[in-house]
Amino acid sequence: MPVYNKLVRDRIPEIIRKNGTYCSVRRLDGLEFEREAQKKLKEEISEYLDADNAEQAVEELADLLELIYCLSEHHGYSKEELEAIREDKADRRGSFHERWFLEQVDDD
């Protein structure tokens, strides 16, 4: 039996069992969830970086976004509050749409 020991989406145990396969799961406490979610973020970022096409890339971005929403809620902020913070920061500091690459700043 394969051992995964990793954070999975909420319905994964249900899907595994529906296919007639046994799986064991446990609910993580707050600190465990945060640590495992950070590992999962790294996994999803790696999968995004390894994507072969735009469709795969967007699938991985969706996974990242779901993790980000869950972590935001874990830290006490709703999706809407997170979006408001993102919008405020974009208003104050801009986004990344212009694709600027800062090479150097003279500090004279």
Q: What is the domain partition of the chain in residue ranges?
A: 12-78
pLDDT of residue 108: 79
Written as six digits, the tokens of 10 are 């909420």
pLDDT of residue 55: 98
pLDDT in tens, the chain (108 residues): 789 999 999 999 999 999 999 999 999 999 999 999 999 999 999 999 999 999 999 999 999 999 999 999 999 999 999 999 999 999 999 999 999 999 999 997
- Quote the distance between the C-alpha of residue 81 and its chain's center: 17
Closest CA to 74 of 38, 101, 43: 38
pLDDT of residue 99: 95
